[in-house]
């Protein structure tokens, strides 16, 4: 019997925002794997797990997924990670691979899922609370209501085209990984006839540098920064 | 001491997909309120609560939020509901008001939150798993990866303009409340150079008529139907 791979979304940060299902699976898992960009890097997903579950006695595995600009380096990393997972599944062990937020939203896990399934192993995905849902809850603004639409884009690769489509066509725009793009983001917002008060920044919740408030381009923001832009001026409709 | 209102997202259907926080709050709540469109209507959110928590001994309150096309009728309903909630808060009781999915995504709660806060009461929002996150997990497709964007629109009001913006500008489109708009949705998809296999339907999960698969316009779909349209032909990239 080979093992099964579980992709588990651990939510945005608060261990209490794990689902009952995810918590139970992590408690029962003998092997927990977590992705990092560099060996030895801290993993926020894994910190959340440690806050919710006793991991002593479990096998905890760091998987390296490089963000190197060279496609070949990234692909080699992914292939090594898949081989390591397959080796453990061949031992008959199940693996819980954890993802910050939800598994379907900008996660590495979905690439792994496809490759592992392609090798003939069984997999299952457990959804998690996306950071933008908890951010909107914290800021006490709706993400989307009535007949409005919602767009979600990431600034990780300075994706101006997606941001333009979003700001042109949507009443509500979630901008993820915005921490070092605040100046250009504000310019885009102003180009669409809005201003700072249309943008609510939700940054590093529960961590150093926590901030919830309007977009201040003079301020520095931590890595975990999401901006919610609302055409309806952010007064909550 | 007046009570506090909690808006609690109970996730998409499986009681195990409640967060640990939401479950704990519902267990501790003396009063649970749930919204319906018509008196006596079944509430999926409340069914989820009953699957997760013993509600015997709790005060369970049905709040009517009419979907009447007349604005005045809808506003009067909302105002009655807010009055009822305020009366209970004045008794010093906390209230947990539940929402299917996430509180920020097309929910009635956020209107109530604003009005109750406006009356000077304290409120708090607890996020939930949106149906589109669990739908993508079930269908085993990513919602959004890499430098792609994601758009979320609702067909509840046959919102063609949002759908057009979404299909024009985004690699991934979530279409909520699509159950009785499948024909026109497929036409829109085809007008954008895609076809049935680009659309994954996730319908009535865990209920009668459960379906996960490509869009078949000949089929009938239940009320809880979400469609995920991917330009990258839905093969999971």
Rounded-to-integer distance, Cα B118 and Cα B95, Å: 17
**Smallest CA–CA distance from B169 into chain A, residue:** A165
Q: Are A22 and A129 contacting, i.e. CB atoms less than 8 angstroms apart?
A: no
- Provide CB contacts within 8 A for A233, sequence distance 6+: A194, A197, A198
**Where along chain B do the CATH 3.40.1010.10 domains lie?**
4-126
**Smallest CA–CA distance from A136 into chain B, residue:** B104
**Smallest CA–CA distance from A236 into chain B, residue:** B114
Rounded-to-integer distance, Cα B138 and Cα B140, Å: 5
Q: Are B149 and B172 contacting, i.e. CB atoms less than 8 angstroms apart?
A: yes
Please report the pLDDT score of residue A67 as a whole number. 87
Provide the token pair at B97.
């008001």
pLDDT digit string, tens, across residues A20-51 = 999 999 999 999 999 999 999 999 999 999 99
- Which residues pair with residue B95 across a beta bridge? B5
Q: Are A155 and A175 contacting, i.e. CB atoms less than 8 angstroms apart?
A: yes
Q: Are B7 and B124 contacting, i.e. CB atoms less than 8 angstroms apart?
A: yes
B131-230 — its CATH code? 3.30.950.10
A to B CB pairs, distance under 8 Å: 198
B140 and A CB contact within 8 Å: yes
- pLDDT for A233 beyond 70: no
| Cβ <8 Å between A106 and B144 | yes
| Cβ <8 Å between B105 and A143 | yes
State the DSSP H helix or E strand holding residue A145, giving kind and residue range, or none if neither.
none
Rounded-to-integer distance, Cα A192 and Cα A198, Å: 11
Strands (E), A55-194: 59-64, 95-99, 122-126, 150-154, 172-176
- pLDDT for A164 beyond 90: yes
Which candidate in A12, A144, A181 is best for mutational testing of the B interface (most B CBs within 10 A)? A144
Listed by number, the residues of chain B in 173-232 with a beta carbon closer than 8 Å to a beta carbon of chain A are none
State the nearest Cα–Cα gap between B20 and chain A, in angstroms: 5
Rounded-to-integer distance, Cα A74 and Cα A145, Å: 39
**CA–CA–CA angle B42, B21, B84 (5° rounding):** 45
- pLDDT for A149 beyond 90: yes
Please report the pLDDT score of residue A5 as a whole number. 98
* pLDDT averaged over every residue in chain A: 93
State the nearest Cα–Cα gap between B103 and chain A, in angstroms: 8
Going from the C-alpha of A76 to that of each of A72, A109, B21, the distances in angstroms are 6, 16, 39
Please report the pLDDT score of residue A234 as a whole number. 42
Cβ neighbours of B129 in A, within 8 Å: 19, 102, 127-129
**Where along chain A do the CATH 3.30.950.10 domains lie?**
131-230
Rounded-to-integer distance, Cα B136 and Cα B128, Å: 15
Provide the token pair at B130.
């949106």
Spans in chain B with pLDDT lower than 70: 158, 233-237
pLDDT digit string, tens, across residues A79-124 = 999 999 999 999 999 999 999 999 999 999 999 999 999 999 999 9
Q: Give percent above pLDDT 70 in chain A.
A: 97
**Smallest CA–CA distance from A131 into chain B, residue:** B127
B31 and A CB contact within 8 Å: no
Please report the pLDDT score of residue B38 as a whole number. 93
Q: Are B23 and A20 contacting, i.e. CB atoms less than 8 angstroms apart?
A: yes
Provide the token pair at A34.
């977590």
| Cβ <8 Å between B133 and A9 | yes
Cβ neighbours of A17 in B, within 8 Å: 19-21, 127
Please report the pLDDT score of residue B237 as a whole number. 33
Going from the C-alpha of B189 to that of each of A21, B192, B194, B196, B222, the distances in angstroms are 35, 5, 5, 8, 21
Looking at residue B15, what DSSP letter applies? Answer: G
A81 and B CB contact within 8 Å: no
Q: Are A101 and A176 contacting, i.e. CB atoms less than 8 angstroms apart?
A: no
Q: How many CA atoms lie within 13 A of A146 on its CB side?
A: 12
Cβ neighbours of B168 in A, within 8 Å: 165, 169
Thinking of the domain B4-126, which architecture would CATH place it in?
3-Layer(aba) Sandwich (3.40)
| Cβ <8 Å between A102 and B133 | yes
- Which residues pair with residue A17 across a beta bridge? none
Going from the C-alpha of A60 to that of each of A11, A26, A161, B130, B170, the distances in angstroms are 19, 11, 39, 29, 37
A19 and B CB contact within 8 Å: yes
Please report the pLDDT score of residue A2 as a whole number. 96
- pLDDT for A206 beyond 90: no
Residue B118: phi, psi to the nearest 5?
A: -60, -30
**Single pTM value for the model:** 0.94
Provide the token pair at B132.
């589109």
């Amino acid at each position: 019997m080979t093992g099964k791979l579980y992709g588990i979304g651990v939510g945005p940060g608060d261990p209490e925002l794990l689902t009952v299902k995810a918590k139970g699976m992590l408690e029962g898992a003998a092997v927990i794997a977590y992705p990092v960009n560099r060996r030895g890097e801290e993993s926020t997903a894994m910190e959340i797990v440690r806050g919710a579950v006793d991991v002593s006695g479990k096998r905890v595995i760091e998987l390296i997924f490089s963000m190197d600009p060279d496609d070949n380096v990234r692909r080699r990393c992914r292939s090594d990670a898949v081989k390591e997972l397959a080796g453990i599944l061949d031992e008959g062990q199940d693996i819980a691979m954890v993802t910050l937020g939800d598994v379907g939203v900008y996660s590495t896990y979905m690439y792994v899922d496809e490759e592992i399934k392609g090798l003939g192993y069984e997999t299952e995905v457990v959804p998690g609370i996306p950071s933008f849902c908890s951010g909107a809850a914290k800021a006490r603004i709706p993400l989307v209501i009535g007949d409005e639409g919602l767009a979600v884009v990431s600034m990780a690769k300075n994706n101006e085209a997606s941001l333009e489509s979003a700001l042109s066509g949507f009443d509500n725009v979630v901008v993820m990984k915005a921490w070092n793009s605040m100046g250009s983001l504000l310019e885009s917002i102003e180009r669409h006839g809005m201003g700072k008060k249309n943008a609510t920044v939700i940054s590093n919740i529960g961590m150093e540098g926590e901030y919830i408030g309007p977009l201040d381009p003079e301020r520095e923001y931590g890595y975990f920064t999401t901006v919610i832009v609302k055409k309806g001026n952010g007064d909550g409709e």
